[in-house]
Structure 1
Amino acid sequence: MKKVLIIEDDPVWAKLIQHYISEAGAESRIVIAPGQALEMIDDWHPDALVLDMLLASETGMALLNELKSHEDLANLPIIVCSNVGITHDDMEPFGVRAVLDKSTMTPAQVRQALTEVLL
């Protein structure tokens, strides 16, 4: 079974994303900070990440930079799910496979992004 780590500090959004991941047939865990994410990545070895860019403790950008600095994590598939006005082109150098805007995303878009990342 594929594993997806959700890095999201809003419990409502985290549970919603977790629901979609479950529908896609994958297992998920939730952390609320980039530091926790790094620890969970080392311990749990997820197949993909869903990352909010605006977290209470740090930005998602800090985690993206950290991941790129580790050769074994540089290609970990990432879906950014955030309210920040960014594009896929902006995030592609960091291994981001999809960018979903929380204010406009549809369930179909979330399912499609998860399916593409988990193939």
Structure 2
Amino acid sequence: MPRVLIVDDEANILLSLEFLMQQSGYEVVTAGDAESALEMIRNQLPDLVLLDISLPGMSGFDLLEILRSEETTRTLPVIMLTAHGREIEKEKGMALGANGYITKPFSTRELVARVEALLNPAADSGA
């Protein structure tokens, strides 16, 4: 079962995303900040990360930069989740190597579809 790491500092968002991903058939681990997420990723590599940008301490952008700079996490699929929908932030996230960018509030169906497309590229008929 693919493992999804959800990184968000808002407990209600963590809970709803955790439920959504579990209902979609994924094993879920969560982190409330980038530092603990990085430690979790280094201890047991997830199959995909849902990453909030606005986090206490290190930002999601900073974590993404670290992940892309390390050999073991360079190709780890990362979808940025943010309340910041400005084009400049989206461009920054994509430039840093994010695989997707979803603005809160988001469509649960769209999020699940994005996760499935990244975890099962062969099943994505749109590609």
Query: Same fold by TM (over 0.5)?
Result: yes
CA contact (8 A) 2:33 2:57 kept: yes
* Matching of residue 92 in structure 1 with residue 94 in structure 2: yes
Question: Which fold has the larger relative contact order, with Cα–Cα distance below 8 Å and residues 6 or more apart in sequence?
Answer: 1
* Matching of residue 102 in structure 1 with residue 78 in structure 2: no
* Matching of residue 19 in structure 1 with residue 19 in structure 2: yes
CA contact (8 A) 2:61 2:96 kept: no
Instruction: Letter of the 1:96 partner, please give it.
Output: A
Task: Tell me, in whole angstroms, the C-alpha distance in 2 between the residues paired with 1:114 and 1:24.
Answer: 10
State the aligned residue count.
Answer: 117
Q: Which runs of 4+ in 1 moved over 4 A?
A: none
Alignment TM-score, normalising by the size of structure 2: 0.84
Corresponding residue of 1:74: 74
Alignment TM-score, normalising by the size of structure 1: 0.89
Name the Cα RMSD after superposition. Answer: 1.4
Task: Tell me, in whole angstroms, the C-alpha distance in 1 between the residues paired with 2:119 and 2:18.
Answer: 14
Q: Which blocks of at least 5 consecutive residues in structure 2 are unaligned?
A: 121-127
Q: Which blocks of at least 5 consecutive residues in structure 1 are unaligned?
A: none
Task: Tell me, in whole angstroms, the C-alpha distance in 1 between the residues paired with 2:97 and 2:12.
Answer: 26
> How far is 1:14 from its partner?
0.7
Highest Rg: 1 or 2?
2
Q: Secondary structure at the match of 1:110?
A: helix
Segment drifting more, 90-99 vs 44-53: 90-99
